[in-house]
Amino acid sequence: MFLALTKKSPYYQLIYKVNGRRTQISTQKKTPAEAEKFMQLFQMQKTFPVFNQPKQPQQSNKLIILSKFEDEYVKYIQLSKSKHYVRSIKLSFKHFKNFAGDIPLTKIDLKQIDQFISSVYSRSENGAAMYYRTLKAAFSKALIWNYISDNPFKKIKAPKVSKSYPVFISENELQLILEKTSRQFLKDIFVIAFYSGLRISEILNLRWNWIDESQNTITTKISDNYKTKSKRERIIPIHTKIQEIFLRLKTPKVKSSNFVFRQRGGFKFNEDFISKQFKASVRAAELNDSIHLHTLRHSFCSNLVQKGVSLYVVKELAGHQNLVTTQNYSHLSQSNLSIAISLL
């Protein structure tokens, strides 16, 4: 057994024989003294086999209960996820605790989870799917944190959800909604959402330095204070109706770092507030009650597809992470379907 340096590594290699065959391992040490200590410890382990026994997985000393784990998980996740997602996590934990009790994570069994998901599914398919997704992700983190030895949610099949096409509105329906909206800044936000496909979080975080007047584009910029859902920036060409809004709102006193839409004091608007105002306008216009603020984004994608725009282009404009999401709008290419049938 001896130490040697090779050209392939900056670390000393320990050369020794196993069953008559020469082998080597890296000491991960760059100095002779540290490498010597490594070799001495290795020799002791070879002399006393007890040291060579594989280490047992470390189990946490904590018998952590659901509410305690929820607090830790929420604090961790809210650093990187949206407020909407954090709310869904809290709601999932709330209903699961109401069903199973505030028990230790290690006491949760497959039967409890199966019964919980089934009970929610009987009332709401989407609710069951959402609770399953968020709790499964949370328990995966509990596994990493050594609170549990395995994730029981992974052993339960995800609840099937009836697939429905996204609701969308036409320009005429948008006009009806705008007529029932009294405040101008709300009208402007609704128009931008409809003609850009920007998420409401992106619109409310929109700053003047996101807008390139020379290129006539908006870039959803990522900063320390804001990250897009996809965690990447994208460029959206500015529609003429949006351009008119920017020309009207921008004044010589506007700073490039200011929010385009802001409250007194320069603060941005709350998403829930904008969403509720949109819903009120929809109901005042006596339109389908399933129309909500995110419908404006669906409408952007739907209208593009109906006008023959490629799904790949729609994907990039909408900022979808994969084409599967965009394919939800593929049924709207009626002309393509008709052409296909005519070929028979």
Measured distance CA(237)–CA(138) in Å, rounded: 38
The torsion angles phi and psi of 13, rounded to 5 degrees, stand at -105, 140
DSSP 231-268: SS--EEEPPHHHHHHHHHH--TT--TTSBSS--TTSPP
Per-residue confidence (pLDDT) for residue 49, from 0 to 100: 44
Residue with tokens 């003429």: 240
The torsion angles phi and psi of 207, rounded to 5 degrees, stand at -115, 160
Find out whether 298 and 174 touch, Cβ atoms under 8 Å.
Answer: no
pLDDT above 90 for 268: no
Model confidence over 153-173: pLDDT tens digits?
999 999 988 777 788 999 999
Give the mean pLDDT of the chain: 86
pTM over 0.85? The answer is no
Considering Cα of 265, then 266, then 267, then 271, what sign does the dihedral take? positive
For residue 207, give the amino acid letter: R
Measured distance CA(94)–CA(75) in Å, rounded: 16
Residue with tokens 């929809």: 282
Model confidence over 18-55: pLDDT tens digits?
777 777 778 777 787 777 877 777 776 554 444 444 44
Find out whether 193 and 293 touch, Cβ atoms under 8 Å.
Answer: yes
Which two three-digit tokens encode residue 79?
A: 């650093």
- SS3 of residue 134 by DSSP: helix
Model confidence over 49-95: pLDDT tens digits?
444 444 444 444 458 999 999 999 999 988 777 788 899 999 999 99
pLDDT above 80 for 16: no
